[in-house]
């Protein structure tokens, strides 16, 4: 069926993830995935029946309690207790779009047949996804090392008929939803609670969500920069491919190429210039935007690997007849990637704010603050303050989380990634970038009107015409908060084909 996505061993790309979400595809397990899950569970059951040796998290306690042996009759209770006791999240609620990605990624990870879960457990998670039953999860509580324990505990509570979910526009107790669908709570078997709670799906979902936005707003950074360049009466020479071929960073070359394409056919860019050179925020667009593009590409590779991985513990290998306790739940690769991504996104905002500042400075024949009768009108004076404030906050948020660590679980978990904190603050940086670019668009679209009757390129004129339907030219002072809100919504509404 066209609108189905079958969970299988086939690589899950970020672009596929975007397609699943945007097209509201229904999930189902492939036959291959069902067999993998069932074979692993059967192997584990036989292993437990024939071998009384302690196996971490299956018939022992957790963390520093790993040496406490648990009797067979208490194994199910052990897993249920684990989920309940670890549901210690607090703070803001995770956005529902990210919760849905968490569900998908947890299903994907469990489907490979190295986790020992029951088939019905995975199928219930799929039921939650397909019916938009989204567990209420909190942003604070994970150290990003034993997996995302607290967030994933909240993700798992509804399997037991515990905790809260969003359903049909309301927040309700999960027991009500189970009753609504006539579902019985899942009785967790040995290893299952640990398989659900160990994993990097909180960090992975945040990172995937941010990367999808980052690719879109990296493109918008170029488009809006091109409009600013036109408004500032900038020069085309810095985008000549000859410069970039002798310093051939991929992102730099691609940015210069895109800028030339965006400006093709423009009357403004081809008119004679009286100035010899532009400030760095215009002249170095390929070098700065390009470096951020290369960072986004690098972090994409990390997350592509992660979302196609098994990240719980211990892991079961049927063919080798071994159960291995290791550390695949440690979020260090993601933490480092998210910190690097935050820096790259903050820099796109930083250079954007500088272009806004140049545009309002009364240079190159533009009126001060891009408004007629400055003095009586403040024009675009204060949106630049707003952009500066947000850009400065992004600098503060770009302090790496991954260099921090706090000992937990009586020293058993003595190095942690803090990848969850890297994830939540990276999302804030991404949201801030959207606002900074929206403010640059307000200023750039205002500046270009003072170049009339000259026209920019056909594409940029169509883009500006569409924007002007939402945000009109500022003739005299008005409440610009609403213009910022509309500008953010305008950019958010655009569908950009991801590369």
The residue with greater pLDDT, 146 or 311, is 311
pLDDT, greater one: 47 or 60: 47
d(CA 170, CA 162): 16
Q: Each residue of 159-175: pLDDT tens digit?
A: 999 999 999 999 999 99
In the prediction, which pLDDT does 63 show?
Answer: 64
pLDDT at position 36, please? 97
Phi, then psi, of 7 in degrees rounded to 5: -70, 125
Spatial contact of 154 and 202, defined as CB atoms under 8 Å apart: no
Active-site residue, selected from the candidate residues 43, 56, 129, 217 = 56
Average pLDDT over residues 192-216: 97
Confidence class of residue 58 from pLDDT cuts 50, 70 and 90?
Answer: confident
DSSP symbols for 392-451: HHHHHHTS-STT----BGGGTB-----HHHHHHHHHHHHHHHHHHHHHHHHHHHHHHGGG
Q: State the Cα angle at 469 between 468 and 472, rounded to 5°.
A: 45
Beta carbons of 411 and 144 less than 8 angstroms apart: no
Write down the mean pLDDT value for the chain. 95
Domains of the chain listed by start with CATH number? 4-199 (1.10.275.10), 206-493 (1.20.200.10)
Does 43 qualify as catalytic in the annotation? no
Span 286-305, mean pLDDT? 98
Give me 193's structure tokens: 């609670």
Q: How close are the terminal C-alpha atoms of the chain, in Å?
A: 26
Task: Render pLDDT for 436-448 as a digit per residue (tens, 0 to 9).
Answer: 999 999 999 999 9
**Residue 60, pLDDT score:** 75
Question: pLDDT (tens digit, 9 = 90+) per residue, 216-274?
Answer: 999 999 999 999 999 999 999 999 999 999 999 999 999 999 999 999 999 999 999 99
pLDDT number for residue 314: 92
Rg, the chain, Cα only: 26
Rounded Cα distance between 445 and 221, Å, is 14
Query: According to the model, what pLDDT value does residue 202 have?
Result: 98
Residue 158 to residues 105, 121, 142, 161, 276, Cα–Cα distance (Å): 17, 11, 19, 5, 65
Check residue 76 and give its pLDDT: 82
pLDDT band at 134 (very low <50, low <70, confident <90, very high): very high
Q: How far apart are CA 153 and CA 86, in angstroms?
A: 6
65 vs 320, more confident: 320
Question: From start to end of 138-178, where are the E strands?
Answer: 138-140, 164-167, 170-173
Spatial distance between the Cα atoms of 221 and 214, rounded to a whole number of angstroms: 10
Using DSSP's 3-state secondary structure scheme, residue 197 falls into: helix
Prediction pTM value:
0.96
pLDDT tens for each residue of 80-128: 999 999 999 999 999 999 999 999 999 999 999 999 999 999 999 999 9
Identify the band that residue 28 occupies on the pLDDT scale cut at 50, 70 and 90. Answer: very high
The answer to whether the CB of 458 falls within 8 A of the CB of 269 is no
- Kindly state the average pLDDT of the residues 124-142: 98
Distance of CA 334 to the CA centre of its chain: 11
Q: What are phi and psi of 39, to 5 degrees?
A: -60, -40
pLDDT mean over 302-328: 95
The yes-or-no verdict on residue 1 having pLDDT over 60 is: no
> Which pLDDT value is given to residue 146?
86
């Amino acid at each position: 069926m066209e609108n189905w996505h079958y969970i299988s061993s086939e690589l899950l790309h970020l672009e596929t993830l975007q397609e699943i979400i945007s097209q509201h595809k229904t999930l189902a397990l492939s036959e291959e995935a069902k067999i993998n899950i069932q074979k692993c569970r059967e192997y584990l059951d036989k292993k437990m029946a024939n071998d009384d040796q302690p196996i971490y998290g299956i018939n022992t306690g957790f963390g520093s309690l790993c040496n406490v042996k648990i009797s067979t009759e208490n194994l199910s209770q052990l897993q249920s207790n684990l989920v309940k006791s670890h549901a210690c999240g607090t703070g803001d609620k995770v956005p529902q779009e990210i919760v849905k990605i968490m569900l998908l990624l947890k299903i994907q990870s469990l489907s490979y047949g190295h986790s020992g879960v029951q088939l019905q457990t995975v199928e219930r998670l799929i039921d939650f996804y397909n019916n938009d039953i989204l567990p209420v999860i909190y942003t604070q509580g994970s150290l990003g090392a034993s997996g995302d324990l607290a967030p994933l505990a909240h993700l798992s509570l509804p399997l037991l008929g515990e905790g809260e979910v969003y359903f049909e526009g309301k927040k309700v107790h999960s027991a009500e939803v189970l009753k609504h669908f006539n579902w019985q709570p899942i009785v967790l078997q040995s290893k299952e609670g640990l398989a659900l709670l160990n994993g990097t799906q909180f960090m992975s979902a945040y990172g995937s969500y941010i990367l999808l936005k980052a690719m879109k707003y990296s493109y918008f950074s170029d488009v809006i920069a091109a409009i600013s360049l036109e408004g500032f009466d900038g020069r085309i020479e810095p985008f000549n491919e000859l410069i970039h071929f002798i310093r051939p960073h991929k992102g730099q070359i691609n940015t210069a190429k895109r800028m030339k394409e965006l400006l093709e056919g423009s009357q403004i860019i081809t008119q004679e210039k009286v100035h010899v050179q532009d400030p760095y925020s215009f002249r170095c667009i390929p070098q700065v935007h390009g470096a951020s593009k290369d960072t986004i590409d690098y972090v994409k590779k990390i997350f592509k690997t992660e979302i196609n991985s098994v990240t719980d513990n211990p892991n079961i290998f049927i063919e080798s007849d071994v159960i291995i306790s290791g550390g695949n739940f440690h979020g260090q690769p993601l933490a480092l990637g998210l910190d690097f991504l935050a820096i790259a996104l903050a820099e796109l905002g930083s250079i954007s704010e500088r272009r806004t500042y140049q545009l309002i400075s009364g240079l190159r024949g533009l009126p001060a603050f891009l408004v007629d009768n400055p003095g009586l009108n403040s024009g675009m004076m204060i949106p630049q303050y707003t952009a500066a404030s947000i850009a400065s906050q992004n600098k503060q948020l770009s302090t790496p989380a991954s260099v921090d660590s706090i000992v937990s679980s009586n020293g058993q978990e003595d190095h942690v990634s803090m990848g969850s904190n890297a994830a939540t603050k990276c999302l804030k940086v991404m949201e801030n970038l959207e606002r900074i670019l929206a403010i640059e668009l307000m200023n750039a679209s205002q500046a270009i009107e003072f170049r009339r009757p000259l026209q920019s390129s056909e594409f940029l004129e169509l883009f500006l015409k569409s924007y002007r339907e939402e945000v009109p030219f500022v003739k005299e002072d008005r409440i610009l908060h609403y213009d910022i809100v509309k500008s953010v919504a305008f950019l958010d509404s655009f569908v950009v084909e991801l590369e």
